[in-house]
Structure 1
Amino acid sequence: MFKFAREQKLIEIGSIKIGGQVGENPTVLIPTIFYDGHKIVDAKSNKFDESKALALIREVEEVGEKHKLPFMFQVVGLTPELMKKGLDFVADHTKAPIIIDSADKKARLTGLEHASRNNYASRTMYNAINMMIDSEEIAALTKSKIEGVIILGFNMQDPSVKARIALLEDGGGFTEKGLLAVAKECGFEKILYDPGVQPFGQGAGSSFRLLSVVKARYGLPTGVGAHNIPSSWAWLHKNASIEQRRIADISANTIGITAGANSLFIGPIENAKYAAPAVAMTDILMADSIKDFGIGHAEIHPYQLA
């Protein structure tokens, strides 16, 4: 569809690669496990159903292999204890890279410290450096041994492209330095940019436009949680069936790829089996579209299925 003039960075986390020209490398699927509301998790007892969790991990591995798509697991820790248990469980049962995530800062920092002390730090990323980062989080990231970090471009006051680029470059009035500088001063060279998808009317369009802007301006690998649009669209939930909502969710992911996403935060891990075929199809289309630019696709790529 298009080629970025700027050289596109490629980062390696564990055994996977993220980045490059759109269509060059397969899109990385990032399903979330142990999320808030996940039926297999009991936050009160700090336990989860291990057999069901393992079955979901195996399902992602199967659809990834079938569709020639790499994948990472975003591990949510609802509590600090669940964070440690979740990270260890996923690390022990798959070789795929892992992302530390939680709405609770204490749980995130616990995960950061725990991963740094264990043998999977080299395949772990942190979600995320954002406008709310503070000195405690910066210190923990600087001390950590994990491999990479996600920068979240969400701006709660101004969802425009200009304001969110300012966050990267000078902090946009929220941080003393731009988020890119913060990430690098923490010691990270492997950076994934996620614009942070807003609902309709609150910056949804600019979230998608940021993907191509950031790739054109900085050459950074990108990721997007496109499923946030259908999940926050009230009209859809009132007027559509579960199947129709699922189709909208999948469609949002494919739009993310055509807009410049190298990876997709597809939401609940149960979504992987539905997203994978559509993502593979879009990857084939994008790879086919860049042949005229003299760009070939990776050896292992959904294009093998064409």
Structure 2
Amino acid sequence: MFIFEKEQKVWDINGVKIGGQLGSYPTVLIGSIFYDKHKIVSNRQKGIFDKEQAEALLNKQDEMVDKTGNPCIVDIVGDTAEALIKHIDFVASVTEAPFLVDSTIAAARLEAIKHAVEVGLVDRAIYNSIDVHSKEDELNTLKELGIKSSMLLVFSPKALMPEGRLELLKGSSGEEGLIQKAQRAGIQNILIDTAVLDVVSISFAAQTVHSVKNELGFPAGCGPSNAITAWKKIKKDFSPTSYKACLSGSVLVTVMMGADFALYGPIEEAESVFPACAMVDGLISYYNKRKYKIRPESPTHPLTKIF
């Protein structure tokens, strides 16, 4: 195990602590709901879904939080502003967890997060995300709304290696970095998503997590599940059990490199991912407690919950 050279930032988002040295706080696990092709959604444009099934999934994730000590965030996905707003209102009524406002359409994200502010959910809302394509009007709107928390998606086809991704964050040759962009938008709680493209790129993303924390100190993580869910060979040539093992394994690779959070994919996978991550968090904490005198800051850390 190891510790980071840079002093580590820790954010508190509606009671969920994210960041810190290895062993201080447990990994925050982020499950996605209402995602593309999610069977509980019957109309993606209007945000019509099976509320009973959705509530059961959210309750199961909260149950895993209680059992393992790993906090959660809900990744709320929507194709339109109408759908995303309905999704946010429902999730906020079922769970107290923070949530990502997630859409591939910037206008939908902005309208939905504006709604979150208007109904008093700004402390729980995390904008997903600011990236190299974010325009000035998007940044200005976030500042005007008083958005406190946002993901920064660190990706460019021109910067695939960890060194290049760090430059995207810090800026170079007079160009503004993503961190500066976020700060200009008034973002206080900056969460750095090191971007996974395919299965093999998980290695780059995991190394970038380590580099970001070691050099910049910001909370960092990624979504390795995106690659695993699209991995056709593992689904074709191996059993469903193998797929679940690889999904959890992909998360653990990033956790061992210091990830503070992980987007673990479909919320249905909570029962597989939470115990595996809790085990690794406990092992890391036990070692760093003995080696570096870093004690868990959370009274419900997996080290005390599952061992």
After TM superposition, the score normalised by the length of structure 2 is 0.94
* Partner of residue 100, structure 1: 101
**Structure 1 residues not aligned, in runs of 5+:** none
* Partner of residue 198, structure 1: 197
- Number of residues of Structure 1 aligned to a counterpart in Structure 2: 303
2:281–2:303 Cα contact (<8 Å) kept = yes
Q: After superposing the two structures, state which structure 1 stretch, 150-159 or 266-275, moved more.
A: 150-159
- Aligned ranges for residues 65-214 of structure 1 at < 5 Å? 65-170=66-171, 176-200=175-199, 203-214=201-212
Give, in angstroms, the shift of residue 234 of structure 1. Answer: 3.7
Whole-Å separation in 2 of the counterparts to 1:71 and 1:172:
38
State the SS of the aligned residue for 1:26. Answer: coil
Deviations 1:175-233 (A, max 9, x none): x51100011111112111110012145x4322110011000111011121121332233
Match for 2:89: what amino acid?
Answer: D
* Partner of residue 36, structure 1: 36
Whole-Å separation in 2 of the counterparts to 1:266 and 1:209:
18
Give, in angstroms, the shift of residue 48 of structure 1. Answer: 1.2
Whether 1:230 and 2:234 are equivalent positions in the alignment is no
Whole-Å separation in 1 of the counterparts to 2:265 and 2:240:
16
Structure 1 stretches of at least 4 aligned residues deviating more than 3 Å after TM superposition: none
Give, in angstroms, the shift of residue 17 of structure 1. Answer: 0.2
Deviations 1:35-87 (A, max 9, x none): 11111112144311111111111111111101111111111111110111011
Whole-Å separation in 2 of the counterparts to 1:297 and 1:134:
40
Give, in angstroms, the shift of residue 296 of structure 1. Answer: 0.3
Give, in angstroms, the shift of residue 14 of structure 1. Answer: 0.2
Deviations 1:269-295 (A, max 9, x none): 101111011011000011012021010
* Partner of residue 300, structure 1: 300
Deviations 1:4-54 (A, max 9, x none): 121111000001100001221111111011111111112144311111111
After TM superposition, the score normalised by the length of structure 1 is 0.95
Match for 2:82: what amino acid?
Answer: E
> Sequence identity of aligned pairs in percent?
34
Q: After superposing the two structures, state which structure 1 stretch, 84-93 or 225-234, moved more.
A: 225-234
User: Do the aligned partners of residues 269 and 247 (structure 1) sit closer, same or farther apart at CA in structure 2, a change above 3 Å counting?
Assistant: same
Match for 1:145: what amino acid?
Answer: G
* Partner of residue 12, structure 1: 12
2:235–2:243 Cα contact (<8 Å) kept = yes
State the SS of the aligned residue for 1:290. Answer: helix
* Partner of residue 25, structure 2: 25
Give, in angstroms, the shift of residue 122 of structure 1. Answer: 1.1
Give, in angstroms, the shift of residue 141 of structure 1. Answer: 1.2
